[in-house]
Amino acid sequence: MECAAAAGCTETRLIPAYLPPHRPPPVATPGQRLRMVELAVRGEAGLRVDAVEVRRNGTSYSVDTLAGLRGSAGSDPLCLIIGHDAFLELHTWRAWDRLLDYAHLVVASRPGAESDEMVPALRELERRHGAADAAALRAGPAGCVLRVTIPALDISSSRIRRMIGAGRSVRYLVPDAVMQFIHEEALYRTSR
């Protein structure tokens, strides 16, 4: 939410992937992951779950999702929020060079995250399309890259799955409703 607020977003859609292209297939089914996201954001103003990729089936490519969202958003600005680590791998994404045709890119960086490990193409993308602040995102429907610094929290989905697999508590790392669902569905009992 902090990142979305810093970018000036009025609504944040959380879109679980049906089949993520850059990692092994998840242990939880697409339906289970969708349900966990729904449980996690229940009652949270400004957060909305969108099942577009789960309904579409197949490998989930951000460029396809953004193209579809752009079609329904008209000239309203769209932002794709990704972490710094994902940004460093952006050049490996399908049709990554077309993402800015459909949305702004908001890169969530933790304090001290360095950009010197970027491939030249990403450095050039940020140089040409970098935005100074959220006002630039409101000025057009797509095409900017904005960096937003967020507090460093040592919470990641892979860490949570490993903890559950090791029999450790994830209380306070996930909402109680999500923790209950994981328990009921017996998810992540063994580490991958």
**For 172-180, what is the mean pLDDT?**
87
Phi/psi for 120 (5° steps) reads -55, -35
Intervals of CATH 3.40.50.620 along the chain? 2-153
pLDDT at 116 over 70: no
Buried b (16+ CB within 10 A) or exposed e, 132-160: eebebbeeebbbbbbbbbbeeeeeeeeeb
Tell me which of 19-33, 86-100, 157-171 is least confident. Answer: 157-171
**What DSSP string runs through 149-181?**
E-------HHHHHHHHHTT---BTTB-HHHHHH
**For 74-92, what is the mean pLDDT?**
93
Distance CA 58, CA 4 (A): 28
Distance CA 77, CA 93 (A): 22
Residue 14: per-residue pLDDT: 96
Distance CA 22, CA 178 (A): 24
Question: Among candidates 171, 32, 35, which has minimal Cα distance to 163?
Answer: 171
Residue 191: per-residue pLDDT: 44
Residues of the chain with pLDDT > 70: what percent?
94
Decide: 14 and 49 in contact? Cβ < 8 Å: yes
Residues of the chain with pLDDT > 90: what percent?
60
**For 1-28, what is the mean pLDDT?**
88
**Top-tier CATH class for 2-153:** alpha beta
Q: Which two tokens stand for residue 51?
A: 């099942």
- Whether the CA torsion 104, 148, 86, 190 is positive or negative: it is negative
Q: What is the pLDDT of residues 43-61, one digit of tens each?
A: 998 899 999 999 998 999 9
Q: What is the pLDDT of residues 130-156, one digit of tens each?
A: 999 999 999 999 999 999 988 766 677
How many other CB atoms are found less than 10 A from the CB of residue 181?
A: 19
Chain-wide mean pLDDT for the chain?
90
**What DSSP string runs through 82-93?**
EEHHHHHTGGGS
**pTM, to two decimals:** 0.82
Question: Among candidates 82, 63, 78, which has minimal Cα distance to 147?
Answer: 82
Question: Among candidates 58, 73, 150, which has minimal Cα distance to 104?
Answer: 73
How sure is the predictor about 112, in pLDDT bands with cuts at 50, 70 and 90? low
How sure is the predictor about 192, in pLDDT bands with cuts at 50, 70 and 90? very low
Residue 113: per-residue pLDDT: 60
